[in-house]
Amino acid sequence: MYEEKRKYINEYKKSKGCEVCGYNKCASALDFHHDNGEKEFNISQCSNLEKIKIEIMKCAVLCKNCHAELTEKSPDWRINKTKKGEYIGGVVALGYKTKNKKLIIDEEKAEIIRMIFKMKRYKRMGLREIARELNKLNIPTSKDKGEWYGTTVKYILENPLYKGNKFKRGALVLI
């Protein structure tokens, strides 16, 4: 399966080439770029070829040079986007979704986050205990794999996003 996935991705990259300069000689020199904040997962970490095909349709293919120039063209680009209230990319956290380049609360999935905080605060449950309860209730994770772990619960409880703050590369940004 891995080889099939790798072959498909490499052929796709080379067939598209860099959307800026047209380079298409070496697939490993080409990257996928999510520009619209709709990233659901890292393509390299997914084994389902059909999901990969859907995800790469959301991406531009860029050579490493053009990708670096685009993402690092200005040290202020992240700050400027966040000041405008735009989501600056990455995997969207559980309980959130993007709409018109903005990060907004997904009320249905946000209830899962609220449940976790309530179990910790009011029921005084431990991390693994919360994970076991979520698995017992068949509550899906952000990746819809359905398998919760204490470390996942800890990440949620300590994530500043769920406390009303957003950090990107160590800097506080307002959402």
Domain locations in the chain? 2-73, 78-173
How many Å separate Cα 5 from the centre of its chain? 20
Low-confidence winner among 27-31, 77-81, 116-120 (lowest mean pLDDT): 77-81
User: How many whole angstroms separate alpha carbon 153 and alpha carbon 138?
Assistant: 15
- Hey, is 145 helix, strand or coil? coil
- Can you give the pTM of this predicted structure? 0.51
CATH class of 78-173: alpha beta
β-pair partners for 31 = 62
| pLDDT tens for each residue of 121-161 | 999 999 999 999 999 999 988 877 668 999 999 999 988 77
